[in-house]
């Protein structure tokens, strides 16, 4: 921008960055508009399929159901909301027992729900889960 004083150029550059940050926030609130933030846990039982799909010592993400199930020991299952407690984005990746939020980088322990790394500060809400007949069911009456 020839002709503008250096200070003016800096202000404009800062405004452009603020605009980009604003877009990021809008993406998160779009997730929230999908109902994620209002209802982070299922209101009715959700069938998740074969319990054997959850690796012992690991976890499996059920992104459509917005749930993550971990299996700390054979036959033992723990389920949590997969909706990040920071801004409502749904986790997209599991590495071992760590759940990763794509929006701002929060990481959660899928065996406890606890935050490993922020900006989230609140654990993932626990969801009751059972494995009857080898199939997982998660939700309020599970
Ligand atoms: S929504 Fe911000 S880290 Fe998950």
Residue 128 lies in a domain: yes
* β-bridge partners, 42: none
Residue 140, pLDDT score:
87
24 & 56 share domain: no
Residue 132, pLDDT score:
87
Q: Is the CB of 113 under 6 A from ligand 1?
A: no
66 & 26 share domain: no
* Phi/psi of residue 26, nearest 5 degrees: -65, -35
The answer to whether 112 touches 43, Cβ cutoff 8 Å, is: no
Q: Is the CB of 89 under 6 A from ligand 1?
A: yes
Q: Is the CB of 67 under 6 A from ligand 1?
A: no
55 & 118 share domain: yes
Residue 38, pLDDT score:
63
Our count of domains for the chain comes to 2
Reference 139, options 70, 67, 56; nearest CA is: 67
Q: Which atom of ligand 1 is nearest to the CA of 88?
A: 1
**Which of 30, 34, 86, 122 has most ligand 1 atoms within 8 Å of its beta carbon, as the pocket-test mutant?**
86
Strands in the chain per DSSP E: 46-50, 59-62, 67-73, 76-81, 93-95, 98-100, 107-109, 115-117, 126-127, 129-132, 135-138
Q: Tens place of pLDDT for every residue, the chain, 142 residues?
A: 444 444 444 444 444 444 444 344 434 444 444 444 467 888 889 999 999 999 999 999 999 999 999 999 999 999 999 999 999 999 999 999 999 999 999 999 999 999 999 999 999 999 999 998 999 999 987 7
Residue 28, pLDDT score:
42
59 & 125 share domain: yes
Residue 36 lies in a domain: no
Residue 55 lies in a domain: yes
């Amino acid at each position: 921008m020839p002709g503008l004083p250096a200070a003016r150029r800096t202000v404009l550059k800062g405004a452009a960055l603020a605009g980009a940050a604003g877009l990021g926030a809008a993406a998160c609130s779009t997730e929230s508009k999908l109902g994620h933030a209002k209802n982070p846990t299922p209101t009715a039982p959700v069938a998740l399929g074969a319990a054997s799909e959850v690796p012992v010592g690991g976890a499996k993400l059920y992104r459509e159901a917005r749930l993550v199930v971990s299996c700390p020991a054979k036959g033992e299952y723990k389920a949590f909301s997969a909706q990040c407690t920071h801004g409502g984005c749904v986790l997209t990746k599991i590495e071992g027992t760590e759940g990763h939020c794509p929006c701002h980088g929060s990481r959660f322990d899928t065996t406890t729900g606890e935050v490993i790394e922020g900006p989230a500060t609140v654990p993932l809400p626990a969801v009751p889960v059972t494995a009857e007949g080898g199939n997982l069911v998660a939700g309020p009456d599970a």
